[in-house]
Amino acid sequence: MSHTDGGIEDSDRAPGHKFEDEGELGASIQSYVIGLVLSTVLTVASFGLPSTGLVWGPGVPVALAVLAIAQMGVHLVFFLHVTTAPDNTNNLLALAFGVLVVGLLIAGSLLIMANLNSMFPMGEMMRMAR
């Protein structure tokens, strides 16, 4: 027999959907508010960082990358509720696979751009254009 919550069986719920009582609803709203505040602070920091001079010029892209990764973490934890709980294993695997695919695309693009001259020498391209 499956467990029911509010008259709806577990099998009838959408993945990740939880029926919360009044106490848990307050905690859920608090989680969203904390996420909103952190997300806003990170966004303002990202836009303000380059103009403040707090970070050495060549280090600005690295600092922006760190802030972007922190922003993604805030969104995953506070808004998407991705945790390391046993019931979130599929979510974590899907996230890891997505990160792998994006990483491979970026690495492949950088590799192609770095070796573009050896693939298509400009002299040969000019001869082909004639």
Same domain? 24 vs 73: yes
Same domain? 63 vs 105: no
Does residue 2 fall inside a structural domain? no
Closest CA to 73 of 96, 39, 45, 98: 39
Does residue 11 fall inside a structural domain? no
Does residue 128 fall inside a structural domain? yes
Mean pLDDT on 32-38: 93
Distance between CA atoms of residues 12 and 15, nearest Å: 9
- Between the alpha carbon of residue 104 and those of residues 23, 73, 85, 114, the distances in Å are 44, 20, 27, 15
The tens digit of pLDDT for each residue in 72-106 reads 989 988 888 887 778 778 888 888 898 999 999 99
The domain tally of the chain equals 2
Query: Are 32 and 79 a contacting pair, CB within 8 Å?
Result: yes
Same domain? 95 vs 77: no
Q: Is the pLDDT of residue 108 over 70?
A: yes
Same domain? 68 vs 95: no
Same domain? 75 vs 27: yes
Q: Is the pLDDT of residue 15 over 70?
A: no
Same domain? 70 vs 96: no
Does residue 35 fall inside a structural domain? yes
Does residue 12 fall inside a structural domain? no
List of E strands, the chain: 4-5, 8-9
Distance between CA atoms of residues 112 and 89, nearest Å: 34
> Which of the listed residues 47, 66, 81 is the one where a domain comes to its end?
81
Query: Are 49 and 67 a contacting pair, CB within 8 Å?
Result: yes
The pair of structure tokens assigned to 3 is 């467990």
Distance between CA atoms of residues 42 and 97, nearest Å: 26
Range of 128's domain? 85-130
Same domain? 68 vs 106: no
Does residue 57 fall inside a structural domain? yes
pLDDT score of 7:
53
